[in-house]
Amino acid sequence: MIKMPQREKTRTEMWPQSLEWHVTWHWLEKYLPEDGVILDAGGGPGRYTIELAKRGYDVVLLDIDKKQLRRAREKIQERGVEEKVKIIHGSVTKLKDLESDTFDAVLCLGGVLTGLTSIDGEKRLTEKRERMKAIQQLKRVCQVEAPIFLGLCGLALVLSTWIGFFPDHIKDLPAFLDTHLLQPKGETEKYFFHGHYFTPKEAKDLVGKQGLHVENVVGLQGPAAPVLPLLEDIEDKEKKDIIREICVKTSDMPGMASISAHFLVICFKR
């Protein structure tokens, strides 16, 4: 029987949501410098920060949510990497405590630009100028030739999930398609974030307009994306490994970014 999609917050912790983490790391490993200082912008509970610190990088973890940062601090201490990590409370749209041309790489993963929130945490910043400000700031703080990784939430999978699972709310979709702004209400609120969802073309244009060179746009769940809930019952490690490998190998095939729940834009400051 087809199950409802899992809640977003489990995506990097549990199978099959962990596919996103796995494919992301494939691409991080390909483009990250061997060492240096990395900004994890909107890093929330610090999953990427901790892994980066364990791999020897110095990391600045920045987020707008003080509660997430407290949780991150505890985990960072538990894992014994606190000397490698500096935690900053702030907004990716300002980065006011960070100097220009500083970082060897910048991460802004997990749909931060979809759910951009104001500094007081009270409202979603859904206007295009806020996404542009964020990208300008990420560009400003990284060094020339440094990679910037943007993990964005895709529009197409929201449409197909919504059509399949929430036919009673189908009248909300034309406005979403026009604006890319999703404002879930009622039962849909449990499964979707309020925010701006991207197409790969839109993301490339936005990033290109800020003067960044787009190197690659890859899907993070690829062929597994439309059937993610069906994978939940798979327990066999070998089968999971094969699915992970398929998702990695197909991630840069044409169209995979479009159908994924999340896709990654890899760009460079030139």
Ligand X SMILES: C[S@@+](CC[C@H](N)C(=O)[O-])C[C@H]1O[C@@H](n2cnc3c(N)ncnc32)[C@H](O)[C@@H]1O
Please give the Cα distance from 15 to 244 (Å, whole number): 10
| Residue 49 found at the interface with ligand X (CB under 6 A) | no
Nearer to ligand X, 51 or 58 (CB): 51
Nearer to ligand X, 7 or 249 (CB): 7
Spatial CA neighbour of 50 closest among 23, 87, 88: 87
CB of 260 to ligand X, least distance (A): 14
**Residues 92, 137: contact at Cβ < 8 Å?**
yes
Among 50, 63, 161, 261, binds ligand X (CB under 6 A): 63
| Residue 142 found at the interface with ligand X (CB under 6 A) | no
| Residue 154 found at the interface with ligand X (CB under 6 A) | no
Burial of 216 (0-12, 13-18, 19+ CB in 10 A): middle
CB of 94 to ligand X, least distance (A): 8
Spatial CA neighbour of 155 closest among 116, 114, 124: 114
Please give the Cα distance from 53 to 76 (Å, whole number): 9
Whether omega for the bond prior to residue 16 falls within 30 degrees of 0, making it cis, is yes
| Residue 256 found at the interface with ligand X (CB under 6 A) | no
CB of 92 to ligand X, least distance (A): 4
List binders of ligand X among 108-127 (CB under 6 A): 109-112, 115-117
Spatial CA neighbour of 41 closest among 148, 199, 123, 198: 148
Among 5, 37, 39, 43, binds ligand X (CB under 6 A): 43
Q: Would you tell me how many other CB atoms lie within 10 Å of the CB of residue 51?
A: 17
CB of 47 to ligand X, least distance (A): 4
| Residue 221 found at the interface with ligand X (CB under 6 A) | no
Bridge partners of residue 263, in order along the sequence: 152, 219
Among 61, 64, 155, 256, binds ligand X (CB under 6 A): 64
| Residue 91 found at the interface with ligand X (CB under 6 A) | yes
Amino acid code (one letter) for 150 = L
| Residue 18 found at the interface with ligand X (CB under 6 A) | no
- Residue numbers at the binding site for ligand X (CB under 6 A): 12, 42-44, 47-48, 63-65, 68, 91-93, 109-112, 115-117
